[in-house]
Structure 1
Amino acid sequence: MASPKLSVLDLVPVRTDQTTADALAATTALAQVADRSGFTRYWVAEHHNMPAVAATSPPVLIAVLAAQTERIRLGSGGVMLPNHAPLAVAEQFALLEAAYPGRIDLGLGRAPGSDPVTSWALRGAAGRDDTDVERFPQYLDDVMALMDSTVGVRIPIRGKDYRLLATPSATTVPRQWLLGSSTYSAHLAAAKGLPYVFAHHFSGRGTAEALEIYRREFRPSERTPEPTTFLTVNAVVADTEEEAVALAIPNLQSMARLMTGAPLTALDLVEDAQKAELTAPQRAMVEDGLARNVVGAPAAAAERIRALAAEFGVDEVMVHPVASARQGGDPRRSPAREQTLELLAAALVD
């Protein structure tokens, strides 16, 4: 089987031995590893009010990482559009594209990325509400039109058109992607002729159905003449399978707690996770995650990624490196996440 291109998804995890500043420094170092190792793109997520996640503002993170890397594409995986005014998103990414032309991806999603209270606070007191989700298809169109200096958005006021632009003189625009974890997003991406990414790393379920819908219903557009997609997967790769499993357990335990309504905390170190007490349902979720994610030694992990790419018909795989760390390490680095990328690159990147 041919080797797919590799990319990275990063939530900027915060371990129990890290401050937010440490986690950001570790993510910067990880992006530099991906840049040196030939990865195609590096995307950062948007989550809010979560003790183990520092990725709250994709455009800010992208600006930081773009300044510290040379060639890799930087993007959002994704900006949760109902949380933000389309004009604000368009302005931010138009500036990023102007500063780093040809290196910026704008991935957009319609999930809140947080709890209802935090979502309300993000939208502010101006009265934005759940109808923003219903308006999501129009918001997608508005963002792209606003970033294009030849198009813009026209608002009728008193019988005249008021023209809005995100930037006065754009020469290029970011590549826009639609992200999703349901078939709704597959139908919408196909209808609008957008590149599409299904969140396979969430649960590993529903991916085949979503991609089949997207490919079957796709309507070519000027920027995307044919269906364009890739696969996302959680990954931990180490010199031995035993070490990879140990490094993967803290994240899997954290996800099990999240899914069972337990209080969230910063990501445990390996030694603390080994002593953690879990309920029977949580233990089952951890075992399911070990079976579903790419966790193992380099050769086996590379073969699993090739098999996943072949199964879903994609030529690119975006790995979400979820390894924790052992006690006594540098809090400003994520050595196991860096190793995951380096070992995969050695096995898969031409």
Structure 2
Amino acid sequence: MNKFSRLLLLISVLLLIVAESNAQTPVSIPARKVPKIVLKSFKELHPDANEVKWYPYPYHYHQGSDVSPTFLPILWENNTPNYYEARFSDEKGEVRNIFDFGGSWYVTSRPLAGNLPVEIEVQLKEKGYGIWKRHNEEQIVKSGEDGKFYKVWLTDKNKKRILYFNESYKLVKILKLDNDINFTEEDHEKFKNAPGFSKQEKTVTEKDVPAQVQTSANQNHLDVDVIEWSIHERLYDPFQNSIFDHGFYDLEVPVLYQLLFFDKDKKYKVTYNAQGEILEEVEVIERKDLPDEVLNTLKSDQYKDWVFDSEHERILYGKRKSLYRIYGKVMNEAKQLILDAKGNITKVKTKEKL
């Protein structure tokens, strides 16, 4: 190897190291933060597993992620992990298990690392996917579905697909995360647009809001001056994550709806779930209107590195109680605080009711 070739190799290695360091890395959690019922279910399935790492799923990422956080109602069920993923190795190699919050097993995944059956490789070429970039290959077993499936992740410029083949190597499902209008499905394929293509938060018209949500809003806020409706959902788009560490298991995506309005010159935001139940009511207020005790907390040395927003929220919590959601940034990373009226940081138990 000549000097020039060695230089090119060194540059390639350095670029790979930089790419991996900039990639979003899921944050693992200690086993004590995993619900006991989940740990019990895992132990029953894998009594001899050791060196297990746990991850809230969908993944939480280290600081430096380019995905902006969305701060949701403090009592919304989607603020807690919907699933937990256990990663470990057994005699067959690396394995990942997903459990839901109640401890029910959901999916088992085994990375294949380029070891797809020849029958599938032939089909990928025949169907025009031979030149697509291969991101991930795995074999999965999923609750409610019979047999094992081979799952292949592919991209071609802005086109993003996940293909599922059954144990007979038949293509049975395609998840499409793009706007390719020329895409056509074959009769034997089950096709659907995968969740996560739309933005995590977007403004919608009233006709896009479910009838039960509209009915609830009309009953509670009939004469208000509506500013806008918006929809929020937890994204599961795997191609927004690090190419070094995919995770997507075709899960249900909980949504919520927010109504922003004026009432008697005050600005409010009410959040509903898809069934029309009120999850949270807040008054949008300026910083100068925060209680003195809250302002004193924000001026303390503890928050000297914060740059606070101009608007915050008074959470209408109980009949006589208010909490304050404070928005700000630290090193350009969006942050929030939940303070009580005395300026103390507070945590709300999910069993409590607004």
TM-score by length of 2: 0.24
Larger proportion of strand = 2
Higher relative contact order (CA 8 A, sep 6+): 1
Larger proportion of helix = 1
